[in-house]
Chain A
Amino acid sequence: MTSAVTKVILHAEDEPAHATIIRLALQRNVGDVQLRQVEDGKAALDYLYRRGFYEDSAVSLRPDLILLDLHMPRISGLEVLSVVKKDPELQTIPVVVLTTSDLIKDRLAADTCGVDGYLVKPDDFDQFVHMMSELCAAWL
């Protein structure tokens, strides 16, 4: 299903501006990556299980990395994380949380659910770019 060369990243983010930033940051530095962006946790799960809007498995490619915002409507990033990490099919996919929060509470919760990485959003585009390249280097 997945292309031997092109890696797929699933990004769940409810804030359109942040989604844009991530998209731009990836475009700037990392070449051969397919970015799939969804607007919340519910959509992320629909994508992973190919339900509803994401039925088409040719489009909804299995991601090689999942980027999750924590605070999202309907289903939060933590909930998605725990579903993914409990599913034997999906648990091998690395999941990295990308959030504005640097609260210990959130870090611990994410750790408990088995997160692979925890990143706090910077407030500078260059740092975003740097962060994305490091992220892809580490996990893809």
Chain B
Amino acid sequence: VTNMRLKTWILVPMTIAIGIGLFFWGAFYFQQEKEASRQATTRLVSQGQDYYSSLLQQQVRLLQAHAEYLIRNQELIGAWHNRDRDALLELTVPLASEFQQKYKITHFYLVEPDRTVFLRPYNPSRTGGVISRQTMLQAQASGVAVHGLELGSLATLTLRYVTPWYDQDELLGFIELGMETEHILQEMAKMLHVDLISVIRKEFIRRESFEAGTERFGFKGNWDDYPDMVIAHQTISDLPDALHDWLVTGHDAFFGPNNIYAVHRGRHLWGGIIHKPDIAGEDVADLIIIHDATAQMMALRHSMVTNFGVATMLLGSLLLLLYSVTRRAEKSIETAHKLLEVKNLEMEQLVYIVSHDLKSPLVTVKTFAGMLRQDIQDGNQQQISEDLKYIDSSTDKMQQLLDALLKYSRIGRVDTLAQTLSADHQVQNCLATLAGILQQHQVQVSTGKLPQQLHGDPLHFGQIWQNLIENAVKYRGDQPQPHIEIGATQEGQDVVFYVRDNGMGIASEHNERIFNLFSQLNPGSDGSGLGLALVKKIVTIYQGRIWVESDGKSKGSCFMFTLPGALIKGDKAI
């Protein structure tokens, strides 16, 4: 039997393809989601940039409003004209404290036209000093108000607003207001739900300034932490390693569009950069936005696991379905294949029979018919009857062969006629049918226990035993006390039925041949040569086999057969 291996040819490539497909789909899906997360971070960073600018602008307008109020204040102008320190203090100190408390405006200077500080209302005890910051220089040069961020002497980024102070066209001096920008960062972090790290580029400040600033404002970083950068503020308690590396080696990458992605202590973090140029346009400081995407990534992972599970289940059931379909197909192919083999064998036998057994009497008839014609011409009466005798016996033989062939070919599985009867019942029926012959030849029959229930066409089972018993009677030889024993034994998994006689026996070289159509071992014996072929065909229908055991000539023979396809469950064993 050829093994079709449909299952292997269909299921193995399917499984591999599905596995690869699932893997790539998963990888693709994960990359998609990660890319989406990165883009979300990019948006967040640009949003942060805008927000930062607008917050800064807001503060600039605040400073501008207060500065303009001051330069239009006639009392202040009057006191300034006289450089009346007491009057100026009386006017400005309450304002300075109000600025500080309400608006976080921490710097307030009244400055001479030559940029010498006349009064610091937020710190009146300190006097003198010349301001040479960019904002002041630009205001002096241009004669209009100037504002911008500047790194201060304490390494803080201060927003300053400097306006020239005129009375009519006379330049009285300058008023400068300033504020630290740290609180803007706090507000941003709160609004955007992100962590922020504020770094200063070392090239723009001195170590002493930073250390003084640390004392005053409590900077988080140490000067020696990183080669080019130093951390001023951070709202996150510890930095991801990836960010450390970034700060140590690759900080140039900060200034590209790059985001960094890092998993730190079970948190999935995205990082992005906001630049903070000072008034001169130098990137003196940067703001690193750290976006915690843990919840997002967890949700992604969760949905991936769910999707993967569902996909696996669906594809698994598809494979199972395919498996059962292919298995069924394989089985039916195998059954068809077996049937085809049986049919082929039968066909071959038929061709053989036609070419030998059927042609043989035809040759006789035609030849003797020709001779008959001649003999009639010659008037040879004796020869005529001789010719006719041959023709008659040959046509009889043909008739017999054709009948036998038809009988043989009609045997097939007819499920509509199926019944369940005990083997014992079948054998008893046969013995009743054959009672005449058995008695005529004085054959003794003994039957063993046959409790098996057989399901199938009762005529089939009847023909098995009938043919075997007839065979035993026919080939009893010169046995004076012919005896037939009918029974069943258990051999391993199989129930083996047997019909044993003490007749002529069979030489072992014929054991196979006797089951072929029209093969008679003995010349001159009557019968069609069909019996055993018929039995074999029936047994084959019930997936059984038949064979003969004999100790040789005159030692009797034992025909044995199995009928696994007919046995009712539970009767497979005795």
Q: Enumerate chain A interface residues (CB-CB to B < 8 A).
A: 14-15, 17-18, 20-21, 24, 39-40, 70-74, 99-103, 106, 121-126, 128
Contacting pair B356 A99 (CB below 8 A): yes
Indicate whether A124 sits within 8 Å of B366 (C-beta atoms), given known contacts A17-B390, A73-B520.
yes
Is A74 within 8 A of B522, CB to CB?
yes
Q: A123-B363, A128-B367 are in contact. Are A14 and B523 (CB under 8 A)?
A: yes
Interface SS of chain B: helix
Instruction: Return chain B residues, CB-CB under 8 Å to A17.
Output: 361, 364, 367-368, 390, 393-394
Name 17 extra pairs, CB < 8 A, besides A74-B523, A101-B352, A102-B355: A17-B390, A17-B393, A18-B360, A71-B356, A72-B523, A73-B520, A73-B521, A74-B522, A100-B363, A101-B356, A101-B359, A103-B351, A103-B352, A123-B362, A123-B366, A125-B371, A126-B370
B386-398 vs A: 1/0 string, CB under 8 Å?
0000100110000
Can you offer 25 A-B residue contacts whose CB atoms are under 8 A? A15-B361, A17-B361, A17-B364, A17-B367, A18-B364, A20-B390, A21-B364, A21-B367, A24-B371, A71-B356, A71-B357, A72-B523, A73-B519, A73-B521, A73-B522, A74-B521, A100-B360, A103-B351, A106-B355, A121-B359, A122-B363, A125-B368, A125-B370, A125-B371, A125-B374
Q: Which residues of A contact B523 (CB under 8 A)?
A: 14, 39-40, 72-74
The reply to whether A125 and B359 contact each other, CB–CB distance below 8 Å, is: no
**Residue on A with the closest CB to B525?**
A73
State the interface size on chain B (CB cutoff 8 A): 26
Question: In the bound complex, do residue B522 and residue A103 qualify as a contact, i.e. CB atoms below 8 Å apart?
Answer: no
Residues of chain A lying within 8 A (CB to CB) of residue B352: 101, 103
Contacts of B356 in A (CB 8 A): 70-71, 99-101
Determine the main DSSP class of A at the interface with B.
Answer: loop
Q: Which residues of B contact A103 (CB under 8 A)?
A: 351-352, 355
| A52–B250 CA distance with the chains assembled, in angstroms | 113
In the complex, the answer to whether B367 meets A123 with C-beta atoms within 8 Å is yes
Partner of A15, one of B364, B368, B374, B519: B364
Task: Determine if A15 and B371 form an interchain contact, defined as CB atoms under 8 angstroms apart.
Answer: no
List residues of chain B with CB within 8 A of the CB of A73.
519-523
Nearest residue, chain B, Cβ from A128: B367
CA A106 – CA B354 in complex, angstroms? 13
Closest Cβ–Cβ distance, residue B291 to chain A (whole Å): 86
Contacts of A72 in B (CB 8 A): 523
**Shortest Cβ distance from residue B278 to the other chain A in the assembled complex, whole angstroms:** 106
Report B-chain residues with C-beta under 8 Å of the C-beta of A99: 356
Chain A residues closer than 8 Å to B366, beta-carbon distance = 123-124
Most buried by A among B355, B521, B524: B355
Interface residue ranges of B370-392 to A (CB < 8 Å): 370-371, 374, 390
Chain A residues closer than 8 Å to B522, beta-carbon distance = 73-74
Nearest CB in chain A to that of B520: its residue: A73
In whole angstroms, how far apart are the Cα atoms of A24 and B370 in the complex?
Answer: 13
Complex formed: what's the CA distance from A24 to B372 in Å?
A: 13
CA A47 to CA B104, docked complex, whole Å = 139
- Min CB distance, B492 to chain A, in Å? 35
